Each structure stands twice: as C-alpha cells, then as structure tokens.
A and B are shown apart, each in its own frame.
Chain A
Amino acid sequence: MTFDSQFFWNSLFHPSSAFLGGLGLTIFISIAAMFFALVVGLLIALMRLSRFAPLRVLAALYVWVLRGTPLLVVLVIIYLGLAAANIYRFTDIHLLGISLSGAVQAAIVGLTLNESANISEIMRAAIVAVPSGQLEAAATQGMIRRNAMRWIVIPQAIRTMIPPLGNQFNSLMKNTSLLSIIGVSEMFLITQSISSATFRTFEIFIVTAIYYLALTTVWTVLQDELERYFNRRLGLDSPGVVERLEDGFTRLFIGNRKSEEVFS
C-alpha cells in the first residue's frame, strides 16, 4: 500500500485555495437551493391542501414527476438539454459584484426542483398531522381557514417538520457532488482535478470525504439547536448541557436510546 501521509495531512489542514473555493461553492449552492426549495415546497404543499381541485392536481403532478426522476437526469436536462434544444441557455450573470456562472444557476434550479418535491411532501404531512381540533378551535374563535393555517396550524407543523427537513438538507449537501456532471466547480469536481493532477486519488478523496462529513456534522449540531429552539417555544423541556452532549453523542454514534428503553 502506498499512502502519502504528508500529502494527506497537508491537503487536510492546508487545502489549496481552489479546494476552499470548491468548499465555499458547495456551501453556497446548498444554502441557496435549500432556501428556494423551502419556498417552492411550501407553495406546493399549500397547493396540495387547497380546496381548488386544479391546484391540487398541478401540485400532485409536480411532486410525482420530480420525485420520480433522478437529480442527475434533471440536471442534465435543464442545463445541457435545454441548451441543446435551443429552448433556454443559462448564461453567466453579474450582480452586485458577484458573478454567477450559468452552470451554478442551473445547479441551484435543478436542486431546487428536486428537493422542493420532497420538501413539499414533508410539509404537507406535518400540516396534516396537526390535530383537527386546532382548526376547530380557531374556527370557533372566528378565524377564517387561511388565518387559522397561518397562526395556528403552520407554527405547530414547523416543529414536526424540522427533523425531516434537516435530514433533507443533509442529503442535499451530499447531492451537490452530482453537480460535477454539469461542470460546477464544487468540492467534488475540484477534488477530481486535484486527483488527476497528482495521482493521489485515495488520499485526496479521503480528505474530501472528511470535509463533507464536517459539513454534515456541523449541520447536525445546528439542527439540534433549531429543534431545541422550537421545543422551547412549545414549552417543552430543554435539557441541560451534559444531557445535550450525551444526546448528541448518542444520536451520532449509538442511535435512538428511547427505542432501546421501550423494547428492552
């Protein structure tokens, strides 16, 4: 076995600026796509719950198509396919001193399409899971349905949707590695080019794996904080620091302790 440990440690702790650029782009695209996917997802979820049948059908079609097609295929269609067919070509734009390449735009659109379909289903399930008594209570207080949704149902549904939405963001971050197919110079593509320039494929991809792992781990911690914040707003207990560390450790490495208690 040959393992260039000096190259490995160097790449891990002193990554090239190109690598850091790729990391930055990965983070940027993830956050941008998640933001748009949340907005579009909520819209689709509300359409699916609408009393107006055509909206429901439209939303169901959207979810059906985008949940049933691979992200990779969607990306190629919207970036390469649309251009090849002379329908739409993503061109570089320059806004407020930031330039956004066509590929990055297509990447954000593709990820948004793909994720919003999943997210809308998560949101719909969370909204439907709010007990009907809540809507009834709001109705007896003279709220119309729209306001009951806005003030009573959705705030409660948010608490339920945070864990699955967090997991969704986690997988979105990992899915950005697929963007290399349309030439977005995110972390994976940069790694590939380093690999082919140095032939240190094993070392550099281990480094990249560690960086992806760091991203998702940081997110797991943030997600925990977010869940705790919404629990507090619901008046549920917030555990102390020691329990939180324990919980975090358990969650990462051991799994759900609760189920063990129930079944042991």
Chain B
Amino acid sequence: MMREAAVLNIPQENADRVVHATGVKKVLGGKLILRGVDFDVNRGEVVVLLGPSGAGKTTLLRTLNGLESLDGGQVTISGQRIGYIETAHGAVRRAPERVLARQRRDIGFVFQHFNLYPHMTALENIWHAPVRVLKKPKSEAVEEARALLTRVGLADRADAHPSGLSGGQQQRVAIARALAMHPKLMLFDEPTSALDPEMTGEVLRVMRDLAAGGQITMIVVTHEISFARQVASRLVVMADGQVVETGTPHEILDHPSTSRTQEFLAKVA
C-alpha cells in the first residue's frame, strides 16, 4: 500500500492532462519502433492516431496501459506512472503486478481482433470483470451489462456466444465490455480493421456516440479518415516511430505541413 501511495503522490502540474508520455522508446525484435515519443492528451479529448503501418501507432497505444514495457521514457496516466515505480533513491523498476492491474481498471482497451472471451455469452463478457475484479454485486453488474448492450444496439443478443456474433457485433460487445469498467480513458487499437466494410459503420457509430457523450477521453488508432475528420478533436500523425505532426482534423487533413503527412494522406485518400 505504501508503494501505491507513493505513486499517487506524484504532483500533477496539469489537472486536465490525462495522458502524459515523454521520450517513450520501444524496441521490438531488435528494431526501434518508438524513437522517443512525446504525447499528451487532455481530459475529454478524442485523439486519432494516424500514420502508415509500421509507424508505431499501435505500439504507442499499448505502452499507455502497460501492454508493452518501455525501453526508455515514461508514461503517466492521470498522474500515475504506468507500469513502473520510482524508489526512494530515484531508481526506476517494474511495478508489482497488482499495481499495474489496478491502474488498468481505469483504462479501457478495444482490440483489433476483439478478444472477447469465447466461453462466455455476450452478457457474461461484460459483467465478468466488474464482478470479479471490481467486486460489484452480480445483480447490479448484470443489470448494467444489459444497459450497455442496449446502448451498443445488441440487447437481443445478450445470450449469444461470440462465435454466434458477426465481427461488427463482437466489436460492439467488446466496447461495452470495456465501458463496464467505467474507464476514464478508452484506447482503441484499429477497432474496424478486422471487419468487413459493411460492418465498420455500426462500430464507428457506437464510437461516435461515445465521443459525443464527452465523458470519456478517447485515443483511437484507425485508418478511417472520415471518422477522424468528423469525430476527432485532434489528430496526431506518426511516422517511423515518431510524432511528425499534430493539429485539428482541418489543419492536418486539409493543410498538412510536413511531407510525411502529405505522403501518407496521398496514399489513403
């Protein structure tokens, strides 16, 4: 408990800043995927990460909730350093498993391939963690799970297993599952990339509604330029493991200032 308290006591210079990542470096398979990324997100923002594949967008997103360890720099979410703790002597080491697990409760994550639990129904997928991890009373969690399913338009599929749902439906359940933890921050890792084109719309609609609610800070890795234009409050363009440009959708999409952004947009548009 002392350790957790120490983590919480890090002064917050900016109360509105949810994500504060500085100099994040990551090596994967001997290759430098992130070359010292600085990345900030404020409360209520909907940030879309754009860039060519291999730019490090997904890897950056995964460092934000400790799915990837760091090879340099640090990530702070709501003032808490993610995955690492600083000892009294200023040394940094990996945080104990339970500390990271506690931090992750407040960070929802939506995967490209949904990763629903196949042995559970849609409803069970949603109430499982609130009951098992947050120790909510089951009746309350089930009721809330039903409400979330209604919210993503799947009230009638509560008892279906993931194998009986289409990709779009599975992804909507996955979003509901993440929301059931009442996260302050939602991370979306290419949520529509594994879907057939006719199913991306239903998922993007759910995400759009979520963004319109304004309650949750969202970071979305996607190639859906129209979604970025309509929903994002800010775009961040990455290339070669670095942030090359950031600005409003209008600034980035209509008046890109770097050649890397122009190249990328020319390819996807």
Contacts and interface: CB of A to CB of B under 8 A. Distances in A.
A136 B161 contact: no
Contacts of A240: none
Given A151-B128, A234-B161, A235-B161, A136 B67 contact: yes
Interface of A: 131, 133-134, 136-137, 139-145, 147, 151-152, 155-156, 159, 233-236
B97 A140 contact: no
Contacts, number: 72
B119 A142 contact: no
Given A142-B102, A144-B101, A235 B132 contact: no
A130 B117 CA distance: 11
A205 B66 CA distance: 64
B181 A136 contact: no
Given A144-B98, A151-B128, A151-B132, A134 B117 contact: yes
B166 interface: no
Contact of B111 (A137, A145, A159, A234): A137
B119 A140 contact: no
A136 B163 contact: no
26 contacts: A133-B111, A133-B113, A133-B115, A136-B111, A137-B109, A137-B116, A137-B117, A140-B104, A140-B108, A140-B178, A141-B128, A141-B177, A142-B101, A142-B102, A142-B105, A142-B129, A143-B132, A144-B101, A147-B133, A156-B117, A156-B118, A159-B119, A233-B119, A234-B118, A235-B118, A235-B164
B32 interface: no
A245 B220 CA distance: 51
Given A155-B119, A156-B119, A235 B104 contact: no
A4 B101 CA distance: 73
B56 interface: no
Contacts of A134: 115, 117
Q: For A139, A142, A156, A159, which residue has the most chain B Cβ atoms within 10 angstroms?
A: A142
Contacts of A143: 101, 129, 132-133
Contacts of A156: 117-119
Contacts of B129: 141-143
B119 A141 contact: no
B227 to A, nearest CB: 22
Interface of B: 65, 67, 97-98, 101-102, 104-105, 107-109, 111, 113, 115-119, 121, 128-129, 132-134, 160-164, 177-178, 181
A151 B164 CA distance: 21
Contact of B163 (A145, A147, A151, A236): A236
Q: For A134, A140, A143, A233, which residue has the most chain B Cβ atoms within 10 angstroms?
A: A140
A145 B117 contact: no
Nearest to A130: B118
Contacts of A233: 119
B102 to A, nearest CB: 7
Contact of A136 (B97, B115, B164): B115
Sorted from nearest, which 3 A-B pairs have the closest CB atoms? A235-B161, A142-B105, A140-B109
Contacts of B118: 156, 234-235
Contacts of B107: 140
B117 A152 contact: yes
A139 B102 contact: no
Given A235-B160, A235-B162, A235-B164, A137 B115 contact: yes
B111 A235 contact: no
A118 B15 CA distance: 57
A235 B121 contact: yes
Nearest to A133: B115
A159 B118 CA distance: 11
A131 B163 CA distance: 15
A142 B104 contact: yes
A141 B181 contact: yes
Contacts of B67: 136, 139-140
A253 B111 CA distance: 44
Contacts of A131: 115
Contacts of A133: 111, 113, 115
Given A133-B113, A147-B132, A155-B119, 12 more contacts: A137-B115, A140-B107, A140-B178, A141-B181, A142-B133, A143-B129, A143-B132, A144-B101, A233-B119, A234-B161, A234-B163, A235-B164
